Every structure is written in C-alpha cells, then in structure tokens.
Amino acid sequence: MSVTRSATARLVAALVVAAFVLTGCGGDPLAGGADTDPDVVSIGSGNFTESQLLAEVYAQALRDAGVQVENPVAIGSREAYFPALQDGSVDLIPDYTGALLTYLDEKATATEPGPVYAALGKALPPGLVLGKQSSAEDKDAVVVTRETADRLKLRTIADLAPHCSQMVFGGGSEFRTRSDGIPGLAKNYACAFKEFRTLDSGGVLTVAALAGNDVQAANLFTTDPALREKNLVPLADPKENFAAQNVVPVMSQRKASPKVREVLDRVSAVLTTDELLAMNAEAAGPDKPALRTVASDWLARKNLVNTSP
C-alpha cells in the first residue's frame, strides 16, 4: 500500500511526539527541526537497544563538549527515522553503512567497508553528510552452535556449504528472499539448506531454536549478546555475501559544525565491534541498567568525556 509524503511526515511526527510523551521529555517534540535554534542538535535513533545506545553515546559526548543537545528520541525503523532526518525533525542519527546504502540505492554492489562508505557518501540526499565510520559493525551472520562448529570443523560459510543440504536454517521471513539472504548463500557458496524455518529477525525465537537444535544454522547479528551467552559461532564470510555494516553518524549539514564533527569522529575512532557487543551485553544484563548509564560508563572508560568533579 502506498503512503503519501504528507502522510509519512504525519506518521513520523506522531511517532516522535509519542516517544517524548513516553520518556517524559518536555518542550517542543520536534525541536531540532528547521524552525528551531540552529545551535541545538536533535538526535533520533531506531527503536532497538543498540541504536538507542549509540544515540545516547553521541548525545552525551556532544553535551560534554559544550554542544546543546536534546535527549535522543527512538523513532522507529529506518523507513521512519530517515525521512525525519531529511525533513529536519531530527539532526543526527546513528546508522549502518551497508544497510543505509541499500536503502538509498538498491542496485549498489559495494561490499567492503571503504567502497561502501564512499558509495554511501555519494548516495546521500542533498543536505545530509556523514561523519567518519567506526570499525564497529553490526552485520548479518550465519551462526551455528559451538558443538556444530567443532564437530564439523566449521570456520567459514564455505566450510558449511557441503553440509547445508542436511540442515534446517532459521531466520526472519525477509532473509528467505533478500539478495544477501538464502539466494545469496546459494549463489556465492552453493549452500542450499534442507529447509528454511521462519522465525524472528535476529531475535529470541531464532536464538532459542538454534540453541535447542530445532535449526542447525541461523541468521543472527554480530553484536548480539546471545553469541557469548549461548556460546554461538558466527561463521566468517570470505566471499563477502554480507556487505560491511559499519556504524556511522549521519547528520544534517547545517548542524555539522567543526565541533560536532570532531566529537563524533573521536567516538567513531574508538568504537569497535567488541566494545559495541560489550555495551549491548551490559544493557541486556540481569540488572538492566538505563541506556544512558551504559553510554556514560563507556564514554568515561574510553576517556571521551570529562570525569573530573
């Protein structure tokens, strides 16, 4: 079903308003847009933990440097938060290079971090710019249990290929048809699974099915805390079926001052996949600390904020 641009804008506005109400934030819910103070940066994110964590990291690092920043707002999927960035409802979002490139250009063929980042810079709509990408990636992976990896001596998807026909694969419904999902594994690795079982997209159902051997391989993400908790093994992808997914700040050019860029680039310089995985694990831990606490602790550990009394 098609949605008009005005309807999309109303939907985004409603999502942002609702997010502010739920988080108890005051003031204009669309502050940071075209009619607001040009010195205030408004930050949006996806509606999942990692994206919200990254938005908190950006917000606190910028605030510590003297930049006026509003509390981050979890807007929704990319289909909601990217239009909000374009129309000025928010000024800054954390995103992932490969996924955003595909969103903007379905015909993009780059897979390695450098070429993906370069192609993304060219594909961005006017008025938007990229900060430096980090080495941290949250990308798709084909995952097996440690027992399966050891028994079959699996390190890569290529090692898995001879065994695919005896395995049930689990993942979100979109993985069955998208170009780097089941079709990509067949094309690049000649891997044809016995069965595809529709579960959730990198979620608890998939983890449970894999851990319980209801499926023998699955699509999860490289920064999922379950990889450590359940001793799961993401297989290497030597043929680059999955494009690079480096974390990158995307922002309105009019808010991308030298100070803002410098702060965000310092964050990107020290953010690694292991650091991102550790933050996700902390946020998902038994104590369930607030995301802003996880973000502030990480910034302090990496000496990215002033911790002097």
Whole-number pLDDT of residue 232:
96
Identify whether residues 9 and 111 lie together within a single domain.
yes
Give the distance, in angstroms, between the CA of residue 185 and the centroid of all CA atoms in the same chain: 22
Residue 309 domain-assigned (yes or no):
no
Whole-number pLDDT of residue 205:
93
Identify whether residues 289 and 219 lie together within a single domain.
no
Residue 248 to residue 240: CA distance in whole angstroms: 20
Identify whether residues 80 and 53 lie together within a single domain.
yes
Identify whether residues 154 and 122 lie together within a single domain.
no
Identify whether residues 71 and 165 lie together within a single domain.
no
85 in Cβ contact with 113 (< 8 Å): no
Give the distance, in angstroms, between the CA of residue 175 and the centroid of all CA atoms in the same chain: 17
Identify whether residues 51 and 189 lie together within a single domain.
no
Taking 90 as the threshold, does the pLDDT of residue 77 lie above it? no
Q: What is the CATH number of the domain that holds 184?
A: 3.40.190.120
What does the block give as tokens for 207? 């983890």
Identify whether residues 161 and 227 lie together within a single domain.
yes
Identify whether residues 117 and 152 lie together within a single domain.
no
Taking 60 as the threshold, does the pLDDT of residue 309 lie above it? yes
Whole-number pLDDT of residue 10:
39
Q: Which domain holds residue 171?
A: 140-234
Residue 152 domain-assigned (yes or no):
yes
Taking 70 as the threshold, does the pLDDT of residue 175 lie above it? yes
Taking 80 as the threshold, does the pLDDT of residue 25 lie above it? no
3-state secondary structure of 278: helix
Closest CA to 139 of 97, 172, 107, 174: 97
Residue 272 domain-assigned (yes or no):
yes
Q: What is the mean pLDDT of residues 44-67?
A: 95
Whole-number pLDDT of residue 28:
39
3-state secondary structure of 113: helix
Q: Mean pLDDT in the chain?
A: 88
Whole-number pLDDT of residue 5:
36
Q: What is the number of structural domains in the chain?
A: 2
Single pTM value for the model: 0.77
Strands 217-221 and 140-145: antiparallel
Bridge partners (DSSP) listed for residue 145 = 232
Identify whether residues 158 and 35 lie together within a single domain.
no
**How many alpha carbons fall within 13 Å on the CB side of residue 248?**
25
What does the CA dihedral 217, 223, 226, 229 come to, rounded to 10 degrees? 120
Identify whether residues 144 and 53 lie together within a single domain.
no
> Domain boundary at 214, 234, 254, which?
234
Identify whether residues 125 and 259 lie together within a single domain.
yes
Taking 80 as the threshold, does the pLDDT of residue 36 lie above it? no
Report which residue type is found at 291: L
Report which residue type is found at 286: P
> Domain boundary at 234, 254, 284, which?
234
What does the block give as tokens for 88? 């000025």
Residue 100 to residue 82: CA distance in whole angstroms: 9
Residue 306 domain-assigned (yes or no):
no
308 pLDDT tier (thresholds 50, 70, 90): low
> Domain boundary at 184, 209, 234, which?
234
Taking 90 as the threshold, does the pLDDT of residue 66 lie above it? yes
Q: For a pLDDT cut of 90, what percent of the chain falls above it?
A: 72
Residue 307 domain-assigned (yes or no):
no
pLDDT per position as a tens digit, 122-170: 999 999 999 999 999 999 999 999 999 999 999 999 999 999 999 999 9
Q: What is the mean pLDDT of residues 183-190?
A: 96
Residue 56 domain-assigned (yes or no):
yes
Identify whether residues 111 and 151 lie together within a single domain.
no
